[in-house]
Structure 1
Amino acid sequence: MGNLALLRLTERLALNSSKIVEEVRFAIEEPDNYFFRFKEKFKERGMEKPSEELPWIVLLDALIEAELAYEIDWKESTLEITYAIDDLSDRKKIDSLDWDWIENMSDAMPTGEKLQAIADRMYERSLSLAYLDIDSDSYILVVVPNIEISELIDLALKAGHTISSTFI
């Protein structure tokens, strides 16, 4: 069920991009071949050999490359966070948030708290800000309609991974 769930999740997050789906499928079916073919890009993620995490990492990197996800550091500026969310929203043809309220948010505030405040505002607009967990000090962000988030979280769990819309 795990690989099937990951492929279904890939289809949903990649907006049915056959290129991304095939890339994840290749990583599932032939992890050694995939890893050694693209070995250099995995060095950046600290991977020295294929692991069970390979298809998940392939999905996340493909989503980032297609601008359907955005990776931010654990200690990111408020400006960079708003840029990332605007970019994701624009890519999905979603109106940007009104950021006037965020001017009072200090860059000293922990990133998780900033993201939660933004997620709460987005929820009011029937949108979910969520992150795909890679057990690292960064957040891989996605923006999806509220109606989809529960199913995406469930698919990720069935695939052995985590998507969360709670940051604190």
Structure 2
Amino acid sequence: MTSRRGLAGLVATHGGVVHRLDTLGEQESYDLLVATLGAERVGQEPDAARELARICGHFPLSLRIAAARLLTRPGLGIADCVSWLAKDLPARLSLADEPLMSVPQVFQAALRRLDPHLCEAFLLLAAQFEGGGNPDSPPPDEVLEQLADAGFVEEGPPKPYRIHELLRIYARQLAAPARTPG
């Protein structure tokens, strides 16, 4: 069974082995792009491929979406794709013809499963992490643990908690006041 959630209750009541999956490492991300796009194409722009992996947060889904864009647009350079994606992350990490291939949709579905109080706590925490440091007034440990179990924060005691960059960007966009056309 796989889940974004920690499943500690299931493991405690029924047993099981937990294997936490993390984002890919830098080399794993690069290797995924080579396997998907081909060694020749990636070899022509190796630095851009590494930058693509970085802005995709080393998430396999993000990398697959970016690679699909590049595969369906053979004339698009990797560096050009990086520039285009970077202008509106994570919104551009989606495919119009396949709704399930969407980083924002995955994040939105996960947020919908949260209790509204936890969702609010996550958005506030993400805003506090904006500067890259630790929050000045973090929520109670119980809330942090629930957010960690739900996959919205990483690590935790004894290490400090952190929020993945793409999640932070997504939270910032959700918290921003709606823009009015004008």
Q: TM-score, normalised by structure 2?
A: 0.29
**TM-score, normalisation: structure 1:** 0.31
Answer with 1 or 2: which has the greater Rg.
Answer: 2
